[in-house]
Structure 1
Amino acid sequence: MAAVSINRAGKVRGQTPQIAKSEHPRKKTGRAAIRGKYERRMELNWFEGKGRIRLNNNIPAKEFNK
């Protein structure tokens, strides 16, 4: 066992100044996040050289290429 006084426990945490948590908008999830990604890519003309690309990996490749 270390020969450290129990009086010093939590010294650094006690000295650290308290800062209030800042509010921030929550991130979009699921369908809304994928829609945002698609819209961002449309603005950048990301699809121009690539042609059709898959955004949803749940669709089998055979069905996608029909």
Structure 2
Amino acid sequence: MDPLLRWLRDTPLGEFMRETPGMFPATEMAHFIGLSLLMGVMIVVDLRLLGMFRQTSYESVLKL
């Protein structure tokens, strides 16, 4: 695994992430927001399947 990690470190993207101040935190923030959106939608769909939000149709929940 070490050669793979060294190769990733030496790619232009790896160098860009290391040399640009604030790029790593910005990437982490985008990653966190994406995961939060994904989990939020999954929770709403699961709660709807468990019987909550009965006034909302299943089709409209799936459009999320």
| Structure 1 and Structure 2 fold alike (TM over 0.5) | no
Query: Larger C-alpha radius of gyration, 1 or 2?
Result: 1
TM-score, normalised with respect to structure 1:
0.28
Task: Provide TM-score, normalisation by structure 2.
Answer: 0.29
- The structure that is helix-richer by fraction is 2
